[in-house]
């Protein structure tokens, strides 16, 4: 049998809940435990996972999740056991095509923040210089865009063929300044049941109660003198060393053992969250629109009028209404037109 996962350690058996080992996929680094379980694993039998939370391991150590009414599998990018959230993406790197057929019915998961995106299929070539396209859905003659913006919707409706509007479980609530998106950022989901977040946040372990029908319990480890978390880390690390010897030692050295009792968080999404600082934004050159100047601001789609202030991104020389680009750059460190990352002129 092809064993594609490793068992990290055994929980010291508390009497009240099912005793289940934590696991990671081989070559992976995310800990899988209740309510999730690796379905190929004999040491994480059915009673070690909650219905709907079965995952599998890919050859490359990714965790894969199947959602009942969506074709194919998703890759799990991160799990936060405390806040009961997970981040998923497409293992084939074309998340938008998965979003077009996403159906979370029948799964324990739902979005944290939703945003409607309208998809358009466009044959005009110039549009891809104006908006960010979805590369994996586009070819040399057609460009596909997804927009959360009403004004871009109106514009594209007049020149492209409308595909459909989809509710997307996005990462963050703010999308005011996004014209179009390639929708490659992880989808953020959460689950309500089983409610293990409180137990996890106190350093406990959640699981089915033994000899019960579906009740969830929380097991704590005795703490005397030292804190529960430290004690727990020691007991789990000792478990690794005893069980897995050298492999366990490698995990320990790699800091993965210490991570076993903390929350497994997804990698931050730099493109989404890191804007420029105010001084840098302030340093970009400004100009005032003259009587003879013409053009439309690509962000707010309104015409430039005399006496309005424009701001230019030095790295690519694209100009926008000053107030529009300021708001954008606070959230994104790249040009909304060409995605050039403006070099931080102060550093
Ligand atoms: C866009 O339209 C073309 C022509 O109708 C079609 O061949 C292509 O599959 C469409 N693309 C998408 C993603 O719908
Ligand atoms: C794009 O259109 C040209 C001319 O009609 C055609 O020869 C070519 O095969 C098309 N490319 C794709 C990817 O459909
Ligand atoms: C659970 O049930 C089994 C038989 O159904 C019994 O042998 C066992 O002692 C029970 N365990 C506990 C902790 O009650």
Residues 148 and 181 sit within 8 Å (Cβ to Cβ): yes
> Ligand 3 in contact with 56 (CB < 6 A)?
no
> Ligand 1 in contact with 58 (CB < 6 A)?
no
> Can you tell me whether residue 57 is helix, strand or coil?
strand
Per-residue pLDDT tens listing for the chain (347 residues):
344 455 544 444 445 788 788 888 888 889 999 999 999 887 788 889 999 999 999 988 899 999 998 889 999 999 999 999 999 999 999 999 999 999 999 999 999 999 999 999 999 878 888 999 999 999 999 999 999 999 999 999 999 999 999 999 999 988 888 999 999 999 999 999 999 999 999 888 899 988 778 888 888 765 433 444 444 554 554 444 444 444 444 444 444 333 333 333 333 333 334 678 888 888 888 888 887 777 777 776 677 888 888 888 888 888 888 888 887 787 778 887 777 776 554 44
- Atom 7 (ligand 3): residue with closest C-alpha? 211
The enclosing H or E element of 80 equals: strand 73-80
> Ligand 1 in contact with 47 (CB < 6 A)?
no
Q: What is d(CA 258, CA 60) in angstroms, rounded to the nearest whole number?
A: 23
- Atom 11 (ligand 3): residue with closest C-alpha? 211
Length of the chain: 347
Which superfamily does 278-331 belong to?
Zinc/RING finger domain, C3HC4 (zinc finger) (3.30.40.10)
Helices (H), 12-143: 95-100, 127-130
> CA-CA-CA-CA torsion for 208, 212, 218, 219, nearest 10 degrees?
-100
pTM: 0.64
- Atom 14 (ligand 2): residue with closest C-alpha? 141
- State the residue for tokens 């009240």: 16
> Ligand 2 in contact with 71 (CB < 6 A)?
no
> Ligand 3 in contact with 16 (CB < 6 A)?
no
Residues 39 and 270 sit within 8 Å (Cβ to Cβ): no
Beta pairing partners, 147: 118
Domain extents for the chain? 15-84+192-225, 227-263, 278-331
Residues 198 and 205 sit within 8 Å (Cβ to Cβ): no
Q: What is d(CA 244, CA 9) in angstroms, rounded to the nearest whole number?
A: 8
> Ligand 1 in contact with 122 (CB < 6 A)?
no
Supply the DSSP string of 180-194, one letter for each residue: -----SPEEEEE-SS
Give 173's contacts (C-beta < 8 A, 6+ positions apart). Answer: 113
Atom of ligand 3 nearest to the CA of 210: 13
């Amino acid at each position: 049998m092809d064993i594609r996962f490793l068992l990290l350690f055994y929980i010291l058996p508390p009497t009240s809940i099912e005793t289940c080992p934590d696991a990671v996929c081989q070559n992976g680094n995310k800990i899988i435990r209740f309510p999730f379980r690796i379905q190929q694993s004999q040491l994480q039998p059915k009673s070690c996972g909650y219905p709907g939370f079965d995952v599998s391991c890919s050859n490359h150590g990714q965790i894969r999740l199947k959602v009942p009414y969506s074709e194919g599998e998703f890759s799990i990018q991160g799990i936060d056991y405390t806040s009961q959230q997970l981040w998923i993406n497409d293992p084939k790197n074309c998340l938008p095509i998965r979003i077009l057929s996403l159906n979370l019915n029948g799964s324990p998961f739902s979005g944290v923040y939703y945003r409607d995106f309208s998809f358009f299929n466009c044959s005009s070539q110039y549009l891809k210089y104006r908006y960010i396209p979805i590369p994996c859905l586009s070819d040399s003659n057609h460009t596909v865009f997804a927009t959360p913006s009403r004004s871009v919707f109106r514009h594209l409706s007049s020149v492209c063929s409308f595909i459909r509007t989809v509710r997307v479980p996005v990462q963050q609530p703010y999308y005011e300044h996004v014209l179009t998106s390639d929708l490659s950022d992880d989808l953020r989901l959460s689950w309500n049941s089983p409610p293990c977040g409180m137990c996890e946040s106190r350093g406990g372990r959640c699981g089915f109660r033994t000899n019960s029908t579906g009740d969830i319990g929380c097991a704590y480890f005795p703490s005397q003198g030292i804190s529960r978390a430290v004690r727990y880390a020691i007991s789990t690390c000792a478990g690794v060393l005893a069980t897995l010897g050298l492999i366990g030692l490698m995990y320990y050295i790699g800091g993965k053992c210490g991570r076993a009792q903390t929350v497994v968080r997804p990698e931050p999404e730099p493109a989404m969250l890191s804007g420029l600082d105010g001084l840098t934004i302030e340093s970009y050159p400004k100009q005032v629109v003259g009587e003879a100047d013409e053009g439309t601001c690509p962000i707010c789609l309104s015409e430039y009028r005399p006496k309005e202030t424009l701001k230019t991104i030095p790295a690519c020389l694209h100009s926008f209404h000053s107030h529009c680009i300021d708001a954008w750059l606070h959230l994104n460190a790249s040009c909304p037109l060409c995605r050039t990352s403006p070099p931080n002129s102060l550093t």
